[in-house]
């Protein structure tokens, strides 16, 4: 029961992180190609989204491997 709940939580976290990663990545690329210096907030949010993407996907892989 706890494993299924944790798995469901990680799937939702992975989905949110993936959406954030894509949206902030697009915003970051748009700023770079528009010759606008990327704002520190966008870089920080992109790094946080990347962190959660890696952690949640790694955790799901570990749970499903057992």
What proportion of the chain, given as a percentage, has pLDDT over 70? 97
| pTM, entire model | 0.72
Q: Is the pLDDT of residue 46 over 70?
A: yes
Q: What is the pLDDT of residue 66?
A: 67
Nearest to 9 by CA among 47, 55, 49: 55
pLDDT digits (tens, 9 = 90+) for 14-45: 888 888 888 888 888 888 888 777 678 878 88
Average pLDDT over residues 42-65: 84
Q: Tell me whether residue 20 is exposed, middle or buried, using C-beta atoms within 10 angstroms of its C-beta: 0 to 12, 13 to 18, 19 or more.
A: middle
Q: How confident is the model at residue 5 (pLDDT cuts 50, 70, 90)?
A: confident
Segments making up each domain of the chain, as ranges = 12-65
- How many beta carbons lie within 10 A of that of residue 38, not counting itself? 14
Whether the CB-CB separation of 3 and 59 falls below 8 Å is answered with no
Radius of gyration for the alpha carbons in the chain, expressed in angstroms and rounded: 15
């Amino acid at each position: 029961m706890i494993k299924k709940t944790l798995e469901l939580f990680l799937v939702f976290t992975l989905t949110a992180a993936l959406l954030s990663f894509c949206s902030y990545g697009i915003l970051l690329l748009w700023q770079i190609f528009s010759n606008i210096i990327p704002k520190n907030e966008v870089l920080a949010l992109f790094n946080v989204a990347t962190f959660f993407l890696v952690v949640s996907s790694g955790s799901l892989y570990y749970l499903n491997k057992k």
